[in-house]
Amino acid sequence: MRAVAAPMRTRAWFDLSRIDPAYVGAAATATEPEQRGIGRPLLVTVDEVGLAPARERVVDLARAALADPAAPIDLTATERDVRWR
């Protein structure tokens, strides 16, 4: 199975790990209707091509993110899980 983004009829990407997911929908929206492709990624297999499942609404994503607050940061700790300060 391979995921493919084709927001325009003239441009498509198959390495979606290097593309911002919001860019696919924005590129499709910004393209003229007669040149527009698919606003969501496609899932391609040997047997079929199908649309990837729809994403959640932005409101639902925001509620989920706000329901799990970040842990407080201890700035005095010497061992942190990041390489920069």
Q: What pLDDT is stored for residue 82 in this prediction?
A: 57
Q: What is the pLDDT along the chain (85 residues), one digit of tens a residue?
A: 888 999 999 989 988 888 887 888 888 889 999 999 888 888 888 899 888 777 667 677 677 767 766 656 665 655 555 555 5
Q: What is the DSSP letter of 44?
A: E
- What are the angstrom distances between the C-alpha of 38 and each of 24, 30, 56, 70, 77? 8, 12, 18, 36, 48
Taking a C-beta distance cutoff of 8 angstroms, is the pair 13, 7 a contact?
no
The 3-state DSSP class for residue 27 equals: helix
pTM for this one?
0.54
Beta strands across the sheet bearing 2-8? 11-13, 2-8, 42-44, 49-51
